[in-house]
A and B are shown apart, each in its own frame.
Chain A
């Protein structure tokens, strides 16, 4: 069975600095996607960034980028130039597109990010 682990329950960063959130996963499949979702307080979860397992190049979306280490099964999120609006809970998630593809996401435990002014 696939699993996703986020080992940092809480992180904090100074405004304008850079922070990295960690995520590891376990799977025996080769066809999958990894995601980072952001949930601000009392608001809906939104997709921050996605990475296809077949692509070696790390995904980037503006100030958000990932470090995808497929062999190590690691998928960290880097937030550059942190802003107050980045404060939220961040969830790492996995979805199979292989034999066990049911469309469901498998989530980590979440990391609460605090941004200090």
Chain B
């Protein structure tokens, strides 16, 4: 079974340009999360999808970031226009749907996309 995959693995763009990151979760996982690690700091939550709906986007830094999850499958995270402080590693994770009496206690991560804005 394929794990969580992210594209591209690396991206170098100039300030002011647009970049789109993609995440393909594990098939059947309803939950999809985006996280970011900036310059050796802790990994921070950006947002959470349940299927195609945004459940929590409290971690999105500003309106230059736009996340979508088409049809509840793959997700994209667009940064437009990119700024220097957006550089970092962007992680995607997915997990199974939770239900009554059932807890999901493991999130599966992709390898991350390293974004460098110059």
Which residues of A are in contact with B by a Cβ distance under 8 Å? 4, 33, 37, 42-47, 50, 52, 91, 95, 97, 102-110
Contacts and interface: CB of A to CB of B under 8 A. Distances in A.
Nearest to B3: A44
* Main secondary structure on B side of the interface with A: loop
A107 B36 CA distance: 11
A13 B87 CA distance: 31
B73 interface: no
Contact of B55 (A103, A106, A107): A103
B110 A107 contact: no
Contacts of B112: 44-45
Given A44-B110, A47-B106, A104 B41 contact: no
B75 interface: no
22 contacts: A42-B111, A44-B3, A44-B109, A44-B111, A50-B105, A95-B105, A102-B48, A102-B55, A103-B31, A103-B95, A104-B33, A104-B59, A105-B35, A105-B107, A106-B45, A107-B42, A107-B43, A108-B42, A109-B42, A110-B40, A110-B42, A110-B43
B14 interface: no
B106 A104 contact: no
Nearest to B6: A44
Nearest to A105: B107
A84 to B, nearest CB: 20
Interface in B59-73: 59
